[in-house]
Amino acid sequence: MILKPIRISRRHLLFSVLIILGSMLFLKPIQSFAFQDSCATPIVNSPSGPVCGAQVNLPGGGQANAYRGIPFAESTAFPNRWKPPVAKAVWSETFLATDYGAPCPQLGVKSYSEDCLSLNIWTPTEDVITNAGAGLPVMVFIYGGSFTSGDAATPMYNGAYIAASKNLIVVNLNYRLGALGFLAAEGLNGNYGFLDQQLGLKWVQQNISSFGGDPERVTIFGESAGAMSVGLHLLSAPDSKPLFHAGIMESNLLSLPYKSLADQRNVGDLFKQAVNCRDVSCLEQTGVGKLLLVQATFTPEMSQIFSGPKYYLPFAPAIDGDVIVEQPIEAVGNPENMNKPIIIGTNKNEGVTFVRDRSIKPEKYATWMANIFGEKFQRVIEQYPSKQLASNSALWARVQTEDFFHCSTRWFLKQASAPVFGYYFDHQPSFNIYGTSIENCAKDDNVCHAVELPFVFNTASLMHESFTEDEKKLSHQMIDYWTNFAIYLNPNGGGGGDNPEWPHFQESTKQYMEFNLPVSSVVTDPYEEECDFWDSIGYNLVSPWQ
Is position 330 annotated as part of the catalytic site? no
Helices (H) and strands (E) in the chain, counts: 18, 18
Is the backbone peptide bond immediately before 518 cis, with ω within 30 degrees of 0? Answer: yes
How do the residues of the chain divide into helix, strand and coil, expressed in percent and rounded to 5?
35, 15, 45
Which pairing describes strands 188-189 and 213-223: parallel, antiparallel, or unpaired? unpaired
Closest by CA position to 114, among listed 52, 192, 53, 189? 192
Buried b (16+ CB within 10 A) or exposed e, 121-132: bbbbbeeebbee
Burial 257-288 (b: 16+ CB within 10 A, else e): bbbbbebbbbbbebbbebbebeebeebeebeb
**In this structure, are strands 259-260 and 318-319 parallel, antiparallel, or unpaired?**
parallel
Instruction: Answer for the pair 316, 258: CB distance below 8 angstroms, yes or no.
Output: yes
Count Cβ atoms within 10 A of the Cβ of residue 504 and give its class: 0-12 exposed, 13-18 middle, 19 or more buried.
Answer: middle
The reply to whether 417 belongs to the active site is: no
End-to-end CA distance of the chain: 13
Q: How far apart are CA 382 and CA 366, in angstroms?
A: 11
Question: Which among 223, 350, 471, 514 is annotated as catalytic?
Answer: 350
Q: Which of 118, 149, 224, 386 is catalytic?
A: 224
Cross-strand bridge partners of residue 521? 514
Amino acid identity of residue 256, one-letter, is L
CA distance 546 to 532: 23
Q: Is 466 a catalytic residue?
A: no
Torsion of CA 297, 301, 302, 305, to 10 degrees: -160
Secondary structure class of 94 (helix, strand, coil): coil
Q: What single-letter DSSP state applies at residue 156?
A: G
Give SS3 for 517: coil
- Tell me the C-alpha to C-alpha distance, in Å, between residue 34 and each of 51, 86, 88, 349, 359: 11, 20, 14, 44, 51
Q: Which residues contact 298 (CB under 8 A, 6 or more apart)?
A: 270, 271, 274, 314
Which secondary structure element, helix H or strand E, spans residue 346, and what is its range?
strand 342-347
Q: Which of 255, 449, 475, 520 is catalytic?
A: 449
Which residues are CB-neighbours of 469 under 8 A, at least 6 positions away?
A: none
Q: How far apart are CA 59 and CA 64, in angstroms?
A: 11
For 180-193, give the DSSP string. HHH-EETTEE--HH
- Residue 336's contacts (CB-CB under 8 Å, 6 or more residues apart) are none
Spatial separation of the C-alpha atoms in residues 78 and 210, rounded to whole Å: 32
**Residues acting as catalytic residues:** 224, 350, 449
